[in-house]
């Protein structure tokens, strides 16, 4: 019943004979996370050490992915940058999921005027471009990761809350919820113990997909020079730093973080779609 919500075409549907797209993507996601966690120990150089003599050097045994215009090692910046680039979306997803589930459950369970108020106000956020909201908040609060993360979390909240609302509405129609009511359990108990756990896999799958988009949005903000402070390594920032080098004919320092962003987003989406597929299949 709830499966209809999830039925959308995606990369995970491409299933040639035993093509392990999902496994490759899951592996890639794990690899990126691992690299980010272990970056301080694995990175060959300090990401901010400037070696101007080597600026714009190509790949070599010393610098595997070359050196950028300011003479910093691209590989080290990529690995260290993975931390901010993953931490930001994680914050966005964590906040938007928690708040979105709370709003969605409340709207669906209570219904009536509260549902109207919550649903209309989240739709208001829908109408407002998330990036614009983020730029606005960053402009007010200045540099730092927190402001764009909160802005994007607010922008992503409606996706989660709408999904949650429809799932809870379907779930509360099921007779077992009434059975618990008859038994004397309070609405809050039934929600927390039974309804939310049974819809959680679907929400988590959606959040995984959101993670990819949030990464993309944050990289976009960083590219615009918003959010991440200048010296902090970040993939979006690296693309921004590398654009002048592209004009000089040395595209590598911009292309590498671009590829990292694209591959990570695709990997997260494939994994998320696959989880969503699995959940809907189990429900059937």
Partner 1 sequence: MPPMPEAAAPAAPPEDSPRTVLQVVGLRRTYGSVQAVDDVSFRLAEGGSLGIVGESGSGKTTTARIVVGLERADAGRVLVHGQDRTRAQRGRAARLARAREVQMVFQDPFLSLDPRTTVGAVLRETLRLHFPDGDHPRRIAELLEQVGLGSREAGALPRQLSGGQRQRVAIARALAVEPSVLVLDEAVAALDVSVQAQILNLLSDIREQTGIGYLFITHDLGVVRCVTDQVIVMRHGAIVEAGATAEVLARPQHPYTRLLLDSVPRPGWDPRGIAAARRAL
As a whole number of angstroms, the distance between CA 129 and CA 139 comes to: 15
CB of 114 to partner 1, least distance (A): 18
The reply to whether 111 sits near partner 1 by the rule CB under 8 A is no
The reply to whether 175 sits near partner 1 by the rule CB under 8 A is yes
Cα 62 off chain centre by: 33
As a whole number of angstroms, the distance between CA 40 and CA 49 comes to: 14
Cα 104 off chain centre by: 20
As a whole number of angstroms, the distance between CA 171 and CA 177 comes to: 8
* One-character DSSP codes across 23-55: HHHHHHHHHHHHHHHHHHHH-SS-TT---GGGT
Task: Give the number of residues in contact with partner 1, rule: CB under 8 A.
Answer: 16
| Of residues 226-245, those binding partner 1 (CB under 8 A) | none
The reply to whether 194 sits near partner 1 by the rule CB under 8 A is yes
As a whole number of angstroms, the distance between CA 240 and CA 229 comes to: 13
The reply to whether 83 sits near partner 1 by the rule CB under 8 A is no
Residue 146 or 204: the one with the smaller Cβ distance to partner 1 is 204
Among 42, 51, 174, 246, binds partner 1 (CB under 8 A): 174
Name the residue among 282, 283, 281 with its Cα closest to residue 13. 281
| Candidate segments 28-36, 56-64, 181-189, 273-281, binder of partner 1 by CB under 8 A | 181-189
Cα 212 off chain centre by: 4
Residue 6 or 254: the one with the smaller Cβ distance to partner 1 is 6
- C-beta separation of 47 from 73 below 8 A: yes
Among 16, 112, 182, 248, binds partner 1 (CB under 8 A): 182
The reply to whether 185 sits near partner 1 by the rule CB under 8 A is yes
CB of 102 to partner 1, least distance (A): 21
CB atoms < 10 A from the CB of 246, how many?
Answer: 15
| Candidate segments 12-20, 48-56, 190-198, 212-220, binder of partner 1 by CB under 8 A | 190-198
The reply to whether 112 sits near partner 1 by the rule CB under 8 A is no
Name the residue among 97, 86, 77, 121 with its Cα closest to residue 237. 77
Among 49, 60, 186, 244, binds partner 1 (CB under 8 A): 186
The reply to whether 9 sits near partner 1 by the rule CB under 8 A is no
| Candidate segments 56-64, 177-185, 241-249, 260-268, binder of partner 1 by CB under 8 A | 177-185
Residue 20 or 197: the one with the smaller Cβ distance to partner 1 is 197
Residue 24 or 179: the one with the smaller Cβ distance to partner 1 is 179
Among 183, 247, 248, 284, binds partner 1 (CB under 8 A): 183
* The dihedral formed by the CA atoms of 24, 29, 33 and 35, expressed in degrees to the nearest 10: 40
The reply to whether 184 sits near partner 1 by the rule CB under 8 A is yes
CB atoms < 10 A from the CB of 212, how many?
Answer: 22
Query: Using CB under 8 A as the criterion, which residues of the chain lie in contact with partner 1 when the complex forms?
Result: 174-176, 178-186, 193-194, 197-198
């Amino acid at each position: 019943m709830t499966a209809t919500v999830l039925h959308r075409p995606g990369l995970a549907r491409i299933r040639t004979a035993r093509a392990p797209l999902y496994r490759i993507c899951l592996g890639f996601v794990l690899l990126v996370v691992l690299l980010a966690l272990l970056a301080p120990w694995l990175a060959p150089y300090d990401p901010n050490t400037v070696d101007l003599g080597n600026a714009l050097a190509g790949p070599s045994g010393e610098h595997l992915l070359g050196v950028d215009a300011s003479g910093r090692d691209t590989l080290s910046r990529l690995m260290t940058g993975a931390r901010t680039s993953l931490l930001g979306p994680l914050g966005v997803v964590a906040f938007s999921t928690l708040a979105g589930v709370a709003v969605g459950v409340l709207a669906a369970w209570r219904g009536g005027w509260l549902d109207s108020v919550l649903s209309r106000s989240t739709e208001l956020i829908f109408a407002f471009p998330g990036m614009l909201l983020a730029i606005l908040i960053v402009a007010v609060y200045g540099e730092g990761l927190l402001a764009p993360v909160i802005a994007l979390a607010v922008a992503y909240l409606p996706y989660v809350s709408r999904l949650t609302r429809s799932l809870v509405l379907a779930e509360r129609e099921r007779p077992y919820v009434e059975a618990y009511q008859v038994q004397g359990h309070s609405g809050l108990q039934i929600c927390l113990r039974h309804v939310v756990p049974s819809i959680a896999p679907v929400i988590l799958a959606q959040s995984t997909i959101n993670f990819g988009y949030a990464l993309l949005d944050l990289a976009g903000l960083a590219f615009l020079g918003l959010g991440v402070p200048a010296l902090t390594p970040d993939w979006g920032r690296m693309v921004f730093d590398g654009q002048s080098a592209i004009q000089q004919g040395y595209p590598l320092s911009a292309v590498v973080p671009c590829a990292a962003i694209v591959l990570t987003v695709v990997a997260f989406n494939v994994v998320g779609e696959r989880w969503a597929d699995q959940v809907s299949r189990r429900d059937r």
